[in-house]
């Protein structure tokens, strides 16, 4: 019975992660940091990417503190750089030569790549009318074009995965399923990720490279603090919904479990968000009405002429 369950649920987490080379973007804090620590704890060799080298070095220390020698390579002679590699990368500079150089460096130091986790991203806190086009472009660069560029460059490495078990994981958002007010650029970037990686999943099915898309609700991270205002400044406030969001460590474990089980996508959000995703397809007008009410409240707009106050 145990063997049957294993076949249905996929490999265990230790089997899925042990000895793998895993590249995580947005790894300097929050969910990326939690993913890196969980992977290192289970014997993975981790590549950490973000803009802040000092923060990445801190995460590297935390990973090394919990790291265990991979079961497939029990030798303790593996150098520190080959266990945890700090690879600075600015996702917004997707067309810079530094992207190709980063991929080449990861390949040279780590000897290949097994799992790429596109996790980096930036949010927004302003209405469409108050958001400059430069902010729209910046958010799309960080959240969409950056992950797309890195994925394209990494595909040759994944096709030659040292473990012969390549995997793509994309951290999206429930706002990649429906859009909230004051999140126009953010939601657009997440919808773009949904479409792109759905299409890529179909293409890569011919090569047996799985794509797992993750759609979380609010996560207890600094995302709202670092969110951009309409003019590109930091929002600098911790939203109540974010403060009460999912614990990054718990979510990291769920993400790896979903990937190990071969899930094509997984939604980790409160019941109301999951219901809204379902209703978006079957009762869109009702969902739009609810979202409109939330947006008017956020904008401080009163009742609409001829309609009752929500």
Residue of 188, 146, 141 lying closest to 170 (CA atoms): 146
The DSSP 8-state label assigned to residue 219 in this structure reads B
Tokens 């990649």 found at: 176
The CA distance from 292 to 277, in Å, is 15
CA atoms within 13 A on the CB side of 162: 18
Look up 196 and say whether it is catalytic: no
The CA distance from 29 to 221, in Å, is 8
The CA distance from 79 to 155, in Å, is 26
CA atoms within 13 A on the CB side of 1: 0
Which residue in the list 186, 196, 218, 268 is annotated as catalytic? Answer: 186
The CA distance from 11 to 298, in Å, is 44
Contact 168, 148 (CB under 8 A): no
The DSSP 8-state label assigned to residue 110 in this structure reads H
Contact 19, 44 (CB under 8 A): yes
Q: Report residue 68: phi and psi, to 5°.
A: -120, 150
Residue of 288, 261, 266, 142 lying closest to 213 (CA atoms): 266
Instruction: State the catalytic residues.
Output: 186
């Amino acid at each position: 019975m145990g063997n049957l369950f294993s076949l249905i649920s996929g490999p265990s987490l230790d089997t899925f992660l042990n000895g793998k080379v895993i590249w995580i973007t947005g790894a300097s804090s929050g969910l990326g940091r939690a993913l890196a620590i969980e992977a290192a704890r289970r014997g993975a060799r981790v590549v950490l990417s973000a803009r802040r080298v000092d923060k990445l070095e801190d995460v590297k220390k935390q990973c090394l503190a919990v790291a265990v020698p991979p079961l497939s390579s029990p030798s303790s002679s593996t150098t520190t750089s080959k266990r945890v590699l700090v690879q600075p990368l600015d996702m917004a500079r997707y067309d810079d030569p530094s992207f190709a150089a980063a991929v080449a460096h990861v390949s040279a130091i780590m000897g290949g790549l097994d799992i790429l986790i596109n996790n980096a991203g930036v949010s927004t806190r302003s209405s469409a009318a108050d958001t400059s086009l430069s902010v729209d472009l910046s958010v799309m660069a960080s959240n969409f074009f950056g992950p797309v560029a890195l994925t394209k460059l990494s595909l040759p490495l994944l096709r030659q995965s040292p473990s012969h078990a390549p995997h793509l994981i994309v951290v999206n958002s429930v706002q990649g399923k429906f859009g909230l007010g004051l999140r126009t650029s953010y939601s657009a970037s997440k919808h773009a990720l949904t479409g792109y990686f759905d299409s890529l999943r179909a293409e890569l099915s011919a090569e047996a490279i799985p794509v797992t898309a993750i759609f979380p609700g609010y996560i207890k991270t600094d995302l709202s603090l670092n969110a951009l205002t309409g003019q590109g400044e930091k929002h600098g406030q911790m939203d109540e919904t974010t403060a009460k969001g999912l614990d990054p460590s718990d979510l990291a474990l769920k993400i790896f479990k979903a990937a190990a089980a071969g899930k094509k996508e997984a939604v980790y959000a409160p019941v109301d968000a999951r219901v809204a995703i379902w209703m978006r397809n079957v009762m869109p007008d009702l969902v739009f009405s609810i979202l409109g009410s939330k947006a008017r409240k956020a904008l401080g707009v009163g009742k609409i002429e001829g309609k009752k106050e929500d």
